[in-house]
Copies of this chain bind each other. A is one copy, B any other.
Amino acid sequence: MIIVMSQSASREDINNVERKLSQLGFRTHPIFGDIKTVIGAIGDKRLLNTQEISTMPGVESIVPIMKPYKLTSREFKQTPTIVNVGGVEIGGDKIVVMAGPCAIENKEIYIDTAKKVKEAGADILRGGAFKPRTSPYSFQGLEEDGLKIMAEAREITGLKLVTEVVDTRDVELVASYTDIIQIGARNMQNFRLLKEVGLYKKPVLLKRGLSATIEEWLMAAEYIISEGNQNVILCERGIRTFETATRNTIDLSAIPVVKEFSHLPVIVDPSHATGTWKYVSALSKGAVATGADGLIIEVHSDPNCALCDGPQSLKPSKFSQVMEELRKVAEAVGRTL
């Protein structure tokens, strides 16, 4: 940690900061520049409340040298984490595809879609039983009835399940049905919910918040891991920018950045990122070529009838074709699908 003193800081200000750091267990090394002084502080900043320093007279700013996350970092664990979901490995050579409708609306259609995505080669079945919707007047999900339908689809197809939880009070229930617990973008900094899912061993799919930096996203993972659950899968799903041609701006550069700073696997959601089924094929290929460990794609037997997010759903036939294309791209970058 480097403490930058302002140009007008007095010698006494500098001494006070050094004394304080020393009390807090840091070793200090001041460097007296021509105009400003900076103080190097050696010790673990994560244990420190930096405000105690940043508000002292003469302090201009504090520059952290170490990342704020620890268990999530590549420095802590140098080999990539492979999350095992009942035999399906996420983070290994094989690109894992999760597919299915946004919401579960109707048992027959859901099971029909499940069979078709299985046939096309998907590994994991998605579906929403608890839906976070912008409007209170929109369909909010079938709740436990939806989870039951998902379980039935798993029995029929053998696909593993991923579904979202939105309330700390529902974590136990959701965990009892699903194979992967999803934390949605809007809940990425719902810290109580992160802690709650951290108490289980179930893999967690952690979506990046709409305006979350990669560092904040990794800090959200840290919340889960620090409670004891190391099975975290990151999911890039687009960030909010000024561009309006797509629903969000998919940030594929997040893939190599995450791979550099963390050991966790990262997948991409091109359906929510773009908001338009027409762009899903192109961005799925782009994500795999960039290094994603998997994809989560919306597929719906009848997109015209979807109660939510229809415009971004692929029909099963189109999905099947996308899978074929992806296979070639996966091979081109030395992976399988």
Q: Does A180 contact B (CB under 8 A)?
A: no
8 nearest CB pairs, A to B: A211-B211, A286-B290, A51-B310, A289-B289, A31-B40, A332-B332, A328-B332, A285-B289
Copies in the complex: 4
Task: Tell whether, in the assembled complex, residue B211 and residue A210 are in contact, meaning their CB atoms are under 8 Å apart.
Answer: yes
How far, in angstroms, from A172 to B2 measured CA to CA in the complex?
44
Task: Tell whether, in the assembled complex, residue B168 and residue A169 are in contact, meaning their CB atoms are under 8 Å apart.
Answer: yes
Q: Write out, one digit per residue, whether chain A residues 184-215 have a CB within 8 A of any chain B CB (1) or not (0).
A: 00110111100100000000000000110111
Q: Could you say which of B38, B291, B304 contacts A2, with CB atoms under 8 Å apart?
A: B38
Cβ distance A317 to chain B, nearest Cβ, rounded Å: 15
Residue with the highest number of chain B CB atoms closer than 10 Å, among A54, A189, A286: A286
Q: Does A98 contact B (CB under 8 A)?
A: no
Task: Tell whether, in the assembled complex, residue A166 and residue B191 are in contact, meaning their CB atoms are under 8 Å apart.
Answer: yes
Q: Write out, one digit per residue, whether chain A residues 229-260 have a CB within 8 A of any chain B CB (1) or not (0).
A: 00000000001111111100111111111001
Q: How many residues of A contact B (CB 8 A)?
A: 106
Closest to A184 in B: B189
Q: Does A29 contact B (CB under 8 A)?
A: yes
Q: Could you say which of B43, B255, B311 contacts A55, with CB atoms under 8 Å apart?
A: B311
Given A34-B42, A36-B66, A38-B2: A49 in contact with B138 (beta carbons within 8 A) = yes
Task: Tell whether, in the assembled complex, residue B242 and residue A51 are in contact, meaning their CB atoms are under 8 Å apart.
Answer: no
